[in-house]
C-alpha cells in the first residue's frame, strides 16, 4: 500500500509493482479494502428493444375503471367499494369478458409488483397467498367456453380486490380502495 500526503490529506492507493524489463507497464494489485462492483455486461440489443416496446405501449392502470369492472363481475361482493351494485344484471358478452380480463391483468401485475417490492409477501402470509394466486392467474388465457371464462374472470376479480384491500390495509398501497 502506498500512502502519501498531499496538501494535508492522506491518500492511499493500491500497490504498484514495476517489471524491470524495458517497455513493460506497471501492474496494480487489487486493494481488498476498496469495494468494487462486478462488471455487468450490457444488455442484449433484443432485450433493450423489447423493454422499449413495452414502455411505448404501457398505460397506467385506471383504478376507477377497475373498480367499475369489479362491480360488474362481483356485484354485491364489492358494491360498498364501487359506485353501485349491479345485482341482477347479466354479465356482458364474451368479447366484453375479454376486455374485462385484460383490464384486471395490468392491475394485478401492479399490485403483485408493489407487494413483492415492499416485502409484503414475507411479512403477511395472506398477501403471499394472494400474490401466488395472482401469479398463477395472470398468464391464463380466457377459455372459449363462456361459463369457464366467467369462472376465470371471477377469480381474477376476487384476487384483484383481495390484494388491493390487503395492500391498502397494510399501508403498502394508498388510495386504491374506494370507501
In angstroms, the CA 130 to CA 168 distance is: 14
Asked whether residue 47 is domain-assigned, the answer is: no
Asked whether residue 24 is domain-assigned, the answer is: no
Q: Which residues in the chain land under pLDDT 70?
A: 1-28, 35, 37-42, 76-95, 177-179
In angstroms, the CA 141 to CA 152 distance is: 9
Q: Would you state the pLDDT for residue 31? A: 72
Asked whether residue 36 is domain-assigned, the answer is: no
Length in residues, the chain: 179
Reduce the secondary structure of 146-163 to three states and give it as a string.
Answer: HHHHHHHHHHHHHHHHHH
How many domains are contained in the chain? 1
Asked whether residue 84 is domain-assigned, the answer is: yes
Domain that holds residue 164: 60-169
Give CA separation, 106 vs 20, 21, 47, 93, 113, in Å: 64, 64, 21, 21, 10
Q: Which residue has the cell 354485491?
A: 76
Q: Would you state the pLDDT for residue 10? A: 47
Q: What letter does residue 86 receive in the DSSP assignment?
A: -
Q: Which residue has the cell 442484449?
A: 44
State pTM to two decimals.
Answer: 0.62
Q: Would you state the pLDDT for residue 161? A: 93
Asked whether residue 179 is domain-assigned, the answer is: no
Q: Would you state the pLDDT for residue 46? A: 85
HSE-up of residue 104 (Cα within 13 Å, Cβ side): 33
Asked whether residue 123 is domain-assigned, the answer is: yes
Asked whether residue 65 is domain-assigned, the answer is: yes
Asked whether residue 40 is domain-assigned, the answer is: no
Q: Would you state the pLDDT for residue 138? A: 92
Beta bridge mates, 90: none
Q: Would you state the pLDDT for residue 89? A: 47
Q: Phi first, then psi: what are they for 88, rounded to 5°?
A: 85, -10
Amino acid at each position: 500500500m502506498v500512502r502519501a500526503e498531499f496538501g494535508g490529506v492522506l491518500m492511499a492507493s493500491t500497490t504498484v509493482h514495476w517489471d524491470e524489463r524495458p517497455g513493460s507497464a506497471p501492474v496494480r494489485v487489487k486493494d481488498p479494502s476498496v469495494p468494487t462492483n462486478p462488471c455487468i455486461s450490457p444488455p442484449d440489443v433484443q432485450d433493450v428493444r423489447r423493454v422499449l416496446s413495452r414502455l411505448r405501449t404501457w398505460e397506467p392502470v385506471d383504478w376507477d375503471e377497475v373498480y367499475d369492472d369489479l362491480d360488474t363481475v362481483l356485484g354485491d361482493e364489492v358494491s360498498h367499494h364501487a359506485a353501485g351494485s349491479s345485482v341482477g344484471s347479466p354479465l356482458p358478452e364474451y368479447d366484453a369478458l375479454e376486455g374485462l380480463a385484460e383490464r384486471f391483468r395490468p392491475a394485478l401485475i401492479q399490485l403483485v409488483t408493489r407487494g413483492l417490492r415492499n416485502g409484503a409477501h414475507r411479512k403477511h402470509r395472506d398477501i403471499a397467498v394472494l400474490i401466488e394466486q395472482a401469479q398463477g392467474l395472470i398468464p391464463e388465457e380466457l377459455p372459449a367456453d363462456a361459463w369457464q371464462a366467467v369462472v376465470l374472470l371471477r377469480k381474477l376479480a376476487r384476487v384483484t380486490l383481495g390484494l388491493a384491500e390487503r395492500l391498502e390495509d397494510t399501508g403498502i398501497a394508498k388510495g386504491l380502495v374506494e370507501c
